[in-house]
A and B are shown apart, each in its own frame.
Chain A
Amino acid sequence: MTAPVLDYDEVIERFDPVLGLEVHVELNTNTKMFCGCPTAFGAEPNTQVCPVCLGLPGSLPVLNGKGVESAIRIGLALGCDIAEWCRFARKNYFYPDMPKNFQTSQYDEPIAYNGVLNLELADGSVVEVGIERAHMEEDTGKSLHVGGATGRIHGAAHSLLDYNRAGVPLIEIVTKPITGTGARAPEVARAYVTALRDLLRALDVSDVRMDQGSLRCDANVSLMPRGTTEFGTRTETKNVNSLRSVERAVRYEMTRQAALLTDGGTVLQETRHFDEGTGTTSAGRRKETSEDYRYFPEPDLVPIAPSGEWVDKLRATLPEMPWQRRKRIQEEWQLSDLELRDLVNAGAVELVASTVDAGAAPAEARAWWVNYLAQEANSRGVELGELPITPAQVARVAALVSGGSLTNKLAREVVDGVLAGEGEPDEVVAARGLAVVSDDSALHAAIDEALAAQPDVADKIRGGKVQAAGAIVGAVMKATKGKADAKRVRELILERCT
């Protein structure tokens, strides 16, 4: 294995990267693609199975109409053509977590094809990504390899199989080759997955949780010497489980391949495995000759021919698209272009919007997500949306502040408590005893103590130097451990001293 020897600028000087991104989306239908089993994530292994999704002899698939509906809506949102007639096919290969040893998928007749997705990068520039196709298929089960060092099949003592996921509806969305992005290829890759995730979330067709595998990205990367137009040999990197990893994996592959090619070596067409810990990729399945899946039309299912009326009806159900939403939000919240971009770059648009929907003022909602929570996400190395706090919870904290029950400082403690898994904001307030001390008699005692401790300051106030009250306020806040409302304390001090 050749270690990267070029720095990134050198890579870009010599090569043009070509990207191809394949995203698998698990649909959030209640039932599986071809049977009535539930699809909930995280159930006890092998409890959401039946003869059909276990592939028992004699069982037959029946298509989930809701899955087709979601596929068409995704296709429409991506500006795709919707096939007037298409079929499923069988992709034949042996693997223990695939009950039938073929995957029911679509091959040369996808339900949606030829679309486009526009991405806005951090600096506001727009990249147009062509969509080759979006097709329907079923997910496989999961293998758990036990006894090896890596958790991968190599070296494992035995494997356990969980078929709960087998047959969960998947949509695979494949881009056309993305060229001309140069040094920004990793950023484009990340922006693409981000934009797609936001789109799918707006459509409400998937949980789009990369950490739970309901959104999975395989990144195909190849390099061609600058000034040439023939694509190089590509690798396909799998196990890319976060937006950050998408960017890192693409960047690493570019650097690795550039080093190989510069050394006079060749890139092998292969599947590679991304390691989150090291940020590197390692060789997986070799694809010297492309695997022969012996596709043929699935004889157990009938062709799908969505009527024009149905497609039109689904088109009418499309929600506001994320880019339309952004534009509207900018106007409604009166944001400058820069403010909007900050919001977008922080990945906070939908979170802030949801927080506003839950009752918070736009400025406060924005402040929470873009400032305090963004820092928290950054220090944890996770996406903003992956923080264990919901927009509704943030809105509740904001309401407690505006209602005078919390100071800003206390509010941050409450948020910390929610992030630490201590429950809802009100539960954190109660458990940590964070409510503002609004009992005037308790405050009077503290004020009297502070005035007595600083008689000179007390005299100044009595003499009309109102601004001197700040020192007493500070002392009271300290004495109450910040649980008092400073404004109220000031009022009470002034009352006391007149």
Chain B
Amino acid sequence: MSGSELNRGTAAELAARIHAGEVSSVEVTQAHLDRIDAIDATVHAFLHVDAEGALAAAREVDEDVAAGRPVASPLAGVPLALKDVFATRGIPTTVGSKILEGWVPPYDATVTRKLREAGVVILGKTNMDEFAMGSSTENSAYGVTHNPWDLDRIPGGSGGGSSASLAAFEAPLAIGTDTGGSIRQPAAVTGTVGVKPTYGGVSRYGLVAFSSSLDQGGPCARTVLDAALLHEVIGGYDPMDSTSIDGPVPPVVEAARQGASGDLTGVRIGVVREFTGEWYQDGVLGAFRQAVETLRGLGAEIVEVSCPHFDYALPAYYLIAPSECSSNLARFDAMRYGLRVGDDGNASAEQVMALTREAGFGEEVKRRIMIGTYALSSGYYDAYYGQAQKVRTLITNDFTKAFADVDVLVSPTTPTTAFRIGERVDDPVAMYRADLCTIPANLAGTPALSVPAGLSEQDGLPVGLQVMAPALQEQRMYRVAAAFEVARDAAQGGPLINRVPQLEVAR
């Protein structure tokens, strides 16, 4: 098997070959490290590559295989790109911010620990919008990541590094976090798969918080089955996270395999009426309509449902998330770790705090801290934070009502395809609209995923199909997405991801 074949393999295929001893994890890992070495100067998906750690982890898996010992998990030996928002013991963790430049965590996030214990090979840490605030990765303090489909375009955000690493074949698996769409929107615009589990389904311990009640880690991959395999590795109860769900991980791998049979007879799918209108590109709506027809062709029953309060999701989100962030980001004060500015021996602690935060936080982060501080202020709390929480309840009720009638809901993942780098940097609200369709599931805590629907007829760029399920019913959306994936590939002559342009290798 050549290096490039190893790069293009799915995680499931690679795992099978590694476990069968046909190829070593070290070879697979090295192939991906080589690919990163060759093209990441162009894509800039990674903030930190841990070649040594990755190869050491790969060798351990190879030793298990050679000794005939059972491997640690179905994904043992498969490389992965980890979003730089998860604490990694001994490996820098920046959250895309200057304020944490040089911070090396003394502990592993639970997700990191589970990956290590599963024998998954962590290649490095991926770029992201600072503190996961953004939809383009342009808010990273360490430079923008480029979309492998078109290097002048954004790879989505905040998890643009993770999505780009998949589309650029730098890694077969990645981890993201989704507060308002940061897994699903990047997946949609890079033609990859991204899953936001039920809130509490994946531990948040060690995930540097943006908005605690919304943040949720989840799997990213190039296929639905790979995402499901990774979901089962990172999911499950964690006593270190009080909001973690004490129950079994939904049977998502089984559901993905079942879905791959391509039969959706008896499945009722709701099309959310509210997800259309002036902000949606025709090319996106066209690809979405075609996807719905594909689902109908698989035997699913399609009905239109209304979720009237979804229209208020974006404004409610932009009160709740900034409010929580204003408190969560207060700890970055130069006293214990990270950047310290202005400590000249004369400045007071308060002055050092202020100077550090001024220098260390980017514009978007500051904007949200200010909005959140204002929204929580006495006299404004009820009108803003309190009101937004009520909207949140109404949105949850909309989901509950809809799921009383249908098994899953579908929509476009994001209103547009990947926009050009720089296009929205001066228009925050336009940037926020990238998450119009993804935010409701965060507010309700329900699971949702994005699977490539096809290419937009307008610009030839990937469009995502969002599938949403009730809380803890992830298997439903995995089944639908897997069935769709098979039908799409059949109709379009192979996996969509194979149409990513050949990237020029930087020399």
Which A residues have a C-beta under 8 Å from some C-beta of B?
51, 54-63, 90, 92, 94, 96, 99-102, 159, 161, 292, 294-296, 299-302
Contact = CB atoms under 8 A, between A and B. Distances in A.
Nearest to B212: A299
A60 B337 CA distance: 17
Given A94-B353, A99-B331, A296-B385, A57 B103 contact: yes
A57 B353 CA distance: 16
A294 B208 contact: no
Given A99-B331, A159-B349, A292-B377, A55 B336 contact: yes
B263 interface: no
- Looking at chain B's contact residues, the main secondary structure is loop
Given A57-B105, A59-B206, A294-B373, A300 B212 contact: yes
B402 interface: no
Interface band, chain B: 35 or more
B240 interface: yes
A60 B241 contact: yes
Interface stretch (B322-330, B465-473, B490-498): B322-330
A137 to B, nearest CB: 15
19 contacts: A55-B331, A56-B87, A56-B106, A56-B336, A57-B332, A58-B87, A58-B206, A58-B208, A92-B327, A94-B333, A96-B333, A96-B335, A100-B330, A100-B331, A294-B327, A294-B378, A295-B376, A296-B376, A296-B381
A159 B330 CA distance: 20
B373 to A, nearest CB: 7
Nearest to A161: B335
B350 interface: yes
A301 to B, nearest CB: 5
A63 B240 CA distance: 10
Interface string B229-271: 0000000000111110000000000000000000000000000
Contacts of B330: 92, 94, 100-102
Interface string B69-83: 000000000000000
A159 B347 CA distance: 12
Given A94-B350, A292-B378, A56 B337 contact: yes
B335 A300 contact: no
Given A57-B93, A57-B332, A94-B333, 12 more contacts: A58-B86, A58-B93, A58-B109, A60-B242, A92-B326, A92-B376, A96-B335, A99-B336, A102-B327, A296-B385, A299-B211, A300-B243
A296 to B, nearest CB: 6
A159 B103 CA distance: 23
B218 to A, nearest CB: 16
A142 to B, nearest CB: 14
Interface string B166-210: 000000000000000000000000000000000000001111110
Interface string B109-152: 10000000000000000000000000000000000000000000
Contacts of B105: 51, 56-58
A60 B103 CA distance: 18
B439 interface: no
B331 to A, nearest CB: 5
A102 B376 CA distance: 13
A55 B95 CA distance: 16
B58 to A, nearest CB: 26
A298 to B, nearest CB: 8
A-B pairs with the 10 shortest C-beta distances? Answer: A101-B330, A294-B376, A299-B212, A299-B213, A58-B206, A57-B208, A58-B87, A58-B208, A100-B331, A55-B331
B242 A302 contact: yes
B410 interface: no
A137 B243 CA distance: 19
B100 interface: yes
A143 to B, nearest CB: 9
B100 A57 contact: yes
A53 B107 CA distance: 13
Contacts of B86: 58
A153 B103 CA distance: 29
B41 to A, nearest CB: 28
A296 B213 CA distance: 12
Contacts of B100: 57
Contact of B209 (A58, A63, A101, A301): A58
A476 B424 CA distance: 105
Contacts of B378: 292, 294
Nearest to B337: A56
Contacts of A58: 86-87, 93, 105, 109, 205-209
B243 A302 contact: yes
Contacts of B87: 56-58
A211 to B, nearest CB: 28
Nearest to A291: B378
Given A102-B330, A299-B213, A60 B240 contact: yes
Contacts of A292: 377-378
A54 B323 contact: no
Given A57-B100, A296-B385, A101 B331 contact: yes
A292 B378 CA distance: 6
Contact of B336 (A54, A60, A302): A54
A94 B352 CA distance: 12
Contacts of B337: 56-57
Q: Which residue among B105, B242, B373 has the maximum number of chain A CB atoms within 10 Å of its CB?
A: B242
Contact of A101 (B93, B103, B109, B333): B333
B240 A62 contact: yes
Nearest to B87: A58
Contacts of A51: 105-107
B84 to A, nearest CB: 11
A34 B107 CA distance: 17
Nearest to A92: B327
Interface in B296-334: 323-324, 326-327, 330-333
Nearest to B389: A297
Contacts of A59: 107, 205-206
Contact of B377 (A56, A161, A294): A294
Point out which of B109, B324, B327, B381 has the most chain A C-beta atoms below 10 A from its C-beta.
B327
Contacts of A101: 330-331, 333
A60 B93 CA distance: 17
Contacts of A299: 211-213, 243, 324
Contact of A96 (B213, B324, B349, B376): B349
A57 B332 CA distance: 8
Contacts of B241: 60, 62
Which of A60, A92, A292 has the largest count of B CB atoms less than 10 A from its CB? A60
Interface in B347-382: 349-350, 353, 373, 376-378, 381
B107 A56 contact: yes
Contacts of A92: 326-327, 330, 376
A57 B95 contact: yes
A129 to B, nearest CB: 29
Contacts of B107: 51, 56, 59
Contacts of B204: 60
Contacts of A159: 349
Nearest to B244: A60
A54 B205 CA distance: 14
A301 B106 CA distance: 23
Nearest to B349: A96
Contacts of B331: 55, 57, 99-101
A378 B95 CA distance: 60
